[in-house]
Amino acid sequence: MAITFLNEAVLWWHWVILGIVLLVAEINSNTFFMLGLGIAAIMTGCTDLLFDTSFTAELFIWITLCLISIAVWLKWIKDKPVTQSGQSNYRLDTLGTVTEEIKPHRRGKVVFDAPVLGNTVWHATAKTDIAKETRVKIIEINGQLIEVAPHHLS
């Protein structure tokens, strides 16, 4: 009985109004989460206008579009840079050149192509011998030491 009532009572423009309300709520929250939900509601309203679907079909369409938008939103949030410090925006793929030979578990020096935490010259360690003038990549940052490994071009 409730579904029959909803099939008759919920019209295409109800979905559009819901979408607009969600978009206005998004403007006030600045999370981009409700943006997808609002667009999904507007698309559901347009689908109902074009194809005169039942409420259960409209609900299925809206839920499906919402799940897709949430998956896209989570993927977009997940792909952030490794870190952002106050002085630089480095990533672990920053390359450098060894200026002072590095022995296993001992310090050497590396000059990086781009600033890492605000500096281009760093003391570095490695698990293997790395000769002077060798190109290296960052493996891990441990406090004031950077662990590096030889960068092999593929």
Pair 107, 125: CB distance under 8 Å: yes
Average pLDDT of the residues in 20-45: 92
pLDDT, mean over the chain: 86
pLDDT of residue 16: 96
Tens-place pLDDT, residues 68-121 = 999 988 887 765 555 544 444 456 778 999 999 999 978 999 999 888 887 889
Distance of CA 120 to the CA centre of its chain: 27
What is the 3-state secondary structure of 117-141?
CCEEEEEEEECCCECCCCEEEEEEE
Contacting residues for 29 by C-beta, under 8 A, at least 6 apart: none
Q: Return the H-helix or E-strand segment holding 36.
A: helix 33-51
CA–CA gap between residue 1 and residue 55 (Å, rounded): 13
pTM above 0.85, yes or no: no
Runs of H (alpha helix) within 52-82? 55-78
Which domains are present in the chain? 2-78 (no CATH), 95-150 (2.40.50.140)
Contacting residues for 36 by C-beta, under 8 A, at least 6 apart: 65, 66, 68, 69, 70, 72, 73
